[in-house]
Amino acid sequence: MRMRNKNLVGLVYMAPALIFVSLFVLIPFVQLIYTSFTDASLLGGGKWVGFTNYTRIWADSNFWKALAFTAKYTLFITPVLMIGGYLLALLTATNRPVLQFARGVIFMPVVIGLGTSSLLWLWLFDQQVGLFNKALLDLHIVDKMLVWFTSADMALWAVIISVVWKVVGFGMILFVAAIQSISKEVTEASLIDGASYWQRVSRIYLPLTTRTILLVTLISAIGSMLAFEQLYIMTGGGPRGLTFTSVYWIYQSSFIKFQLGYGSALSIVLTAIIMIGAAIQITLTARRAPA
Amino acid sequence: MSDAAISQRRVRVASEGHTLSTGAPLRYLVGAVAIFLAALMLAPVVLSFFASIKTGADASASPPSYLPKALSLENYQKILDYQAGLWTYVSNSLTVAGMAILLVIALAVPAGYGLARFNFRFKEPLFLVLLLPLMIPYQALLTPLYLDFAKVGLANSQFGLAIIHAMLQIPFSVYLMRNGFEAIPKELEEAAVIDGCNSWQTFFRVSLRLVFPGIVTIALFAFITSWNELLAALILMNKETEFTVPIMLVGVRTGHFGAVDWGALQAGIIVAIIPCVAIYVFLQKYYVSGLLSGAVK
């Protein structure tokens, strides 16, 4: 009897959160699945159309272009973030005041909103008034103010530069924590054995921080696959619709073209892709100690 | 190698830990490189601040200058008077963030306590249910949420937006609170019971106080997420007077008749950045520790 009571008490504490998640995640998700089989639009409709939306996705070259662009963006930015973050972590991993200060500053953009930072960089990249452009000019790296957003490749790199600025500190902080948690004896032993700095990095730091590297890679990759704000603000999908991402295309289909049924089917495809990554992420984060 | 050499190395390792350097010159070089990189990271925000205190004409001049030619609050004045007025947008954002914080605390603290202190059937699967917002991207859920909210009057409402912002923070917050409560020794709570506290009093007088830093952390994260969030606000809020700061900024950027008022935009960016950076600078301890325990432990 007592056991049973205890059971109930635990559930009672969890209940509000469970109800909340059911109402605002689970039920909408079921609705999303349902809507993806209808021709619902913001203007009405909602007839069951079977797999029509899904076969339409198959033939929708714009969606595949958006997905391919999203994948390209993810494939380009993830290594930059990982390598950049790890190098910054190696540089600042010691707890010296000057390095702690540098770490604090490098992490600062992480707390700024992605929308805000994208607007900031849009200005820095501007062909007329952009100071990033002017700095490149003053350093004689280029000989005239660059136009960043009329070519899809330049636009992609502009977005990558701005997002790396905003989030590279996130990986750095997690890597610093992982490197610092390596036991001193291990590093000490390697020093006594006469290992060089880079030998220590490749034989000790990297292998012993693999789990964190995987985790940060996943978090970054998932974030990049869901990219929206940075492109909505900086490129508006242009030039010629070449820089739409999946989320941006879903937003476009659902809320600009009002095709909710179709947008829902697109969302389901995207969710399926994200779920795989997130499942691995949760497994990696799962507490190693028994619950 | 002699014992003396080894112990000398030990001393050096112990004092330097995971450092790159061996000698003093390298030590200075590492410090200098780190400071240089930090300055580079800080530059965009500093330049934006400088642009925000230029005169309007100076801020839109081409070629641009790094430093203001004359100080002026013209840009801030413009952003203060932008459409419904800056304070409308700031107070909308603060209201939404405040409601999101309250929701997150009210939901995640008891859930974390239940998970940490009780054993019941399906506990771990139910915990996974609370992690669902991590697995199903909210970007995908906005369509059904928008339709549901429209039916019950939550579209175009600050509370509706706060619900979505709170939902985003549930996995991290529950996870953090669960770890927080688990870290409290059971003996401490048992002692409180022996001293005559009932379960309720134990919770409020002992456990809750001990996880207080964790509660500060989840509140901070909820604030920063909510204050910065753009997509849900863009979809949910259709009335000018209900816009949050990020939507206002997008509006400033779009400008009138295609001409962007760059000076006003920089003033808006600075206003949007200040609360986040202030929180980060003054409450860094809570912020970074939360980030680390949420992602690594």
Kindly state the average pLDDT of the residues B84-93: 94
Residue B4 confidence (pLDDT): 54
Burial of B170 (0-12, 13-18, 19+ CB in 10 A): buried
Angle between helix axes B212-228 and B262-282 (nearest 10 degrees) is 170
CA distance B42 to chain A (A): 7
Mean pLDDT on A157-171: 96
Closest to B20 (Cα-Cα) out of A195, A213, A169, A92: A92
Please report the pLDDT score of residue A277 as a whole number.
82
Give the per-residue pLDDT at B207: 86
Tokens of B183: 């870290």
* Mean pLDDT, residues B274-278: 95
Say whether pLDDT at B6 is over 80.
no
How far away is chain B from the Cα of A153, in angstroms, using its nearest Cα? 23
* Rounded-to-integer distance, Cα A30 and Cα A199, Å: 52
Q: What percent of chain A has pLDDT over 70?
A: 96
Interface test with B, best of A112, A133, A166 (most B CBs within 10 A): A112
Smallest CA-to-CA distance from A232 within A116, A61, A147 is with A116
Cα–Cα separations (whole angstroms), residue A10 to A13, A136, B116, B274: 5, 60, 9, 40
Domains in chain B, CATH or no CATH each: 3-75 (no CATH), 79-295 (1.10.3720.10)
The pLDDT > 90 percentage for chain B reads 59
**From the CA of B151, how many Å to the nearest CA of chain A?**
13
Q: What is the mean pLDDT of chain B?
A: 88
Among chain B residues, the shortest Cα distance to A254 is held by: B143
Interchain contact, A91 vs B59, CB within 8 Å: no
> Which chain A residues are Cβ-neighbours of B61 within 8 angstroms?
129
> At B227, phi and psi to the nearest 5?
-60, -35
- The per-residue pLDDT for range A165-195, each reduced to its tens digit, is 999 999 999 999 999 988 888 888 888 888 8
Q: Tell me which amino acid residue B286 is.
A: Y
pLDDT, mean of residues A147-165: 95
Greater confidence, A278 or A271?
A271
Give dist(CA B92, CA B240) in Å, integer.
Answer: 11
Q: Could you tell me the two tokens for A176? A: 């610093």
Query: Taking a C-beta distance cutoff of 8 angstroms, is the pair A123, A129 a contact?
Result: yes
pLDDT tier for residue B232 given thresholds of 50, 70 and 90 = very high
Residues of chain B found within 8 Å of residue A25, distances taken between Cβ atoms: 132-133, 136, 141, 167
- With a CB cutoff of 8 Å and minimum separation 6, the contacts of B85 are none
Q: Between chain A and chain B, how many beta carbons pairs sit less than 8 Å apart? A: 306
Residue A22: left if φ>0, alpha if ψ -120 to 50, beta else—which one?
alpha
Distance CA A176, CA A170 (A): 10
CATH number of A36-285: 1.10.3720.10
**pLDDT score, position B1:** 45
Contact flag A255-B61 (C-beta cutoff 8 Å): no
Res B144: pLDDT: 92
Give the whole-angstrom CA distance, residue A22 versus residue B53: 48
Q: DSSP string covering chain A, please?
A: -HHHHHHHHHHHHHHHHHHHHIIIIIHHHHHHHHHTTB--BTTB---B-TTHHHHHHHH-HHHHHHHHHHHHHHHHHHHHHHHHHHHHHHHH-S--HHHHHHHHHHHGGGGS-HHHHHHHHHHHT-TTT-HHHHHHHHTTS-SS----SSSHHHHHHHHHHHHHHHHHHHHHHHHHHHHHTS-HHHHHHHHHTT--HHHHIIIIIHHHTHHHHHHHHHHHHHHHHT--HHHHHHTTT-STTTT--HHHHHHIIIIIS--HHHHHHHHHHHHHHHHHHHHHHHHHHS-SS--
Amino acid at B179: N
Residues of chain B with Cβ-Cβ distance to A184 below 8 Å are: 13-14, 17
The residue in chain B having the minimum alpha-carbon distance to the alpha carbon of residue A174 is B292
pLDDT at residue B7 in the model:
53
Q: How far is CA B44 from CA A56, B40, B50, in A?
A: 44, 8, 10
- Judge whether residue B14 has pLDDT over 60: no
Contacts of residue A205 in chain B, CB cutoff 8 Å?
18
**Residue B297 DSSP SS3:** coil
Name every residue whose Cβ is closer than 8 Å to that of residue A174 and which is 6 or more positions away in sequence.
A85, A212, A215, A216, B291, B292, B295, B296
Q: Contact B50/B261 with Cβ under 8 angstroms?
A: no
pLDDT digits (tens, 9 = 90+) for B248-272: 999 898 876 667 889 999 999 999 9
Residues 6+ apart with CB under 8 A from A52: A39
pLDDT in tens, A77-123: 999 999 999 999 999 999 899 999 999 999 999 999 999 999 999 99
* Main-chain phi, psi angles of A48, to 5 degrees: -65, 125
Calculate how close chain A gets to B196, using CA atoms only, in Å: 20
Task: Detail the DSSP E strand segments found in B159-202.
Answer: none
Check CB contact under 8 Å for A180 and B62. Answer: no
Q: Are B114 and A108 within 8 A, CB to CB? A: no
Shortest CA gap B104–chain A (Å)? 9
Per-residue pLDDT tens digits for B19-65? 554 578 888 999 999 999 999 999 999 999 999 999 988 888 888 99
- What pLDDT score was predicted for residue B228? 96
Please list the residues that pair with A48 across neighbouring strands.
Answer: A38
Q: Find, in chain B, the residue whose alpha carbon is nearest to that of A32.
A: B144
Q: Residue B297: pLDDT above 50?
A: no
Confidence of residue A289 (pLDDT cuts 50, 70, 90): very low
The domain segmentation of chain A, as residue ranges, is: 36-285
